[in-house]
Amino acid sequence: MLVANRGEIAVRVFQTCRELGIGTVAVHSEADVASPHRFAADESVLLGPAPATESYLRADRVIEAARRSGADAIHPGYGFLSENASFASEVEEAGITFLGPTGEQIAAMGDKVEARRRMEAAGVPVIPGTEGPVGPEDLRAEAERIGFPLLLKAAGGGGGKGIRKVDSIGEVEAAYERTTREAGAAFGDSRVYLERFVHPSRHVEVQVLGDGRGNGLFLGERECSLQRNHQKLVEETPSPAISDAVRARMREASLAGVAALSYRGAGTFEYLYDEAREEFYFLEMNTRLQVEHPVTEQVTGLDLVAEQLAIGEGRSLEGVPEPTRRGASVEFRIYAEDPYRGFRPSTGTIRALRLPHTPFGRIDANLRDGQEITPWYDPMLAKAIAWGPTRLQAIDRLIALLSRIRIGGIHTTVPLGIEICRSEFFRAGDFHTGTLEEWLDRPELPRERPELLERLAAIIARDQIGARRPVGEEAPADGGSWGRVGRLEGTGRRARP
């Protein structure tokens, strides 16, 4: 098995392969020569320079690496080439198993207009909007027909990108020009369509498996409404807003979509849920394993990577019972960002790393002490996941897990995760897709002081690094003096050297 990816998802796939006795191959760029994911595999292959366009996005080099290493299959992970239809087709043309859907399925679901058309034909509810891409000549008429506010959405977009909200007819033309320009630059496809803006709403997604013969399994829904800039921060299952009746309708719609596509592999149907009306609408389908798949694994007891492998080897899902879902699971994404300074990206050397182990907690990561965090790739460092028999117990266990994580030397979103888990709105399950950004913008929001957090992190790093520093060694350039720090604020005690 070759994993055409990096970071924690590569490590995650290698773990399952090791349990199943499957040999593993990692690929890496020059920037990732010391990345932990490289050493989590049996062997590794250099793809090229640091820029992803010269390494992880080079389909030809990935396929050649698979040939040279003798890999039978390629797992795409998520991001990079994972939803590249041409790559999936080229892999299979090379006689290598692609652990995902067919190139045609990826292409159909990657085109938001085509995906919308196919799902509507299958009986999956869609948001009112244009039937296809809209041009400048019919832009105003279509916008007035749909009504305001509305969304301009890139037909080839994904991952929360290529979306712009428009509140009035006077804004629509300028917004259209910006969105088409940005869509062309980001996706190589400047087509844009219009969709009604449903607000307040929740973002709820459904995990499915398909065997490529029309059979599928429903593995439950995930609540993904806590987002910033359309990027998820917290995910959980089950959703605190979904009733059994709505869940049954989501299951029926999602399996109808699987059957209509003869979908193969793991996939996710993303829905916008209008809680007041108990109505849900198809947004898009992610034709890959999701970042948040661990919460589904914790409540179902399934290993989704192992399921992908079994389907890749030809397993049929006909007659396979759906797993019983037990308890609740919550995940928080840990980014190398400073949440108290506008989520400014943070780079540097990781010091004093500590990733705790708990009976009901899990940390998926690609971290080691002394690792350099560069600006080349996505800033997500790890995911902290906790299970509990009830939702509140899962949240409390996640707080305990996050509070014991130490990633010194850089800023991370860990303190924000603890704050969110302790917040009244989250514990009550009372939120929608705009709640987190509104909460972050509240001037009265009580927070830990970032200056104190920085000081404590520096002390921890100094203690642990200084304890093993050879006599006479100079202090690190980014670590300041090895001498004493002043009194710890609020404690009345002096800090250790």
- Which residues form the catalytic set? 288
CA-angle at 231, arms to 217 and 189, nearest 5°: 85
**Residues sharing a CB contact under 8 Å with residue 314, sequence separation 6 or more, in sequence order:** none
Distance between CA atoms of 323 and 77, rounded to whole angstroms? 24
DSSP 437-453: HHHHT-TT-----HHHH
Among residues 280, 389, 273, 380, which one has the least CA distance to residue 330?
A: 389
Please, what sign has the CA dihedral across residues 119, 123, 124, 130?
positive
CA dist., res. 13 & res. 78, Å (int): 11
Judging by DSSP bridges, how do beta strands 361-365 and 216-228 pair with one another? Answer: unpaired
Instruction: Report residue 102 CA to chain centroid gap.
Output: 22
Handedness of CA 130, 133, 137, 139 (dihedral sign): positive
Where on the phi/psi map is residue 490: left (φ > 0), alpha (ψ -120 to 50), or beta?
left
Query: Shortest CA distance to 448 belongs to which of 478, 427, 471, 417?
Result: 417
The CA angle 368-357-14, to the nearest 5 degrees, is 55
Q: How distant, in Å, are the alpha carbons of 137, 249, 362, 423 from that of 40? A: 54, 41, 18, 37
DSSP 224: E
Contact present, 386 and 398 (Cβ < 8 Å): yes
* Distance between CA atoms of residues 393 and 246, nearest Å: 24
Tokens at 445, concatenated = 């929001």
Is residue 217 within 8 Å of 321, Cβ to Cβ?
no
Q: Are 176 and 192 in contact (CB under 8 A)?
A: yes
CA 8, CA 381: separation in Å to the nearest integer?
7
Q: How far apart are CA 73 and CA 91, in angstroms?
A: 9
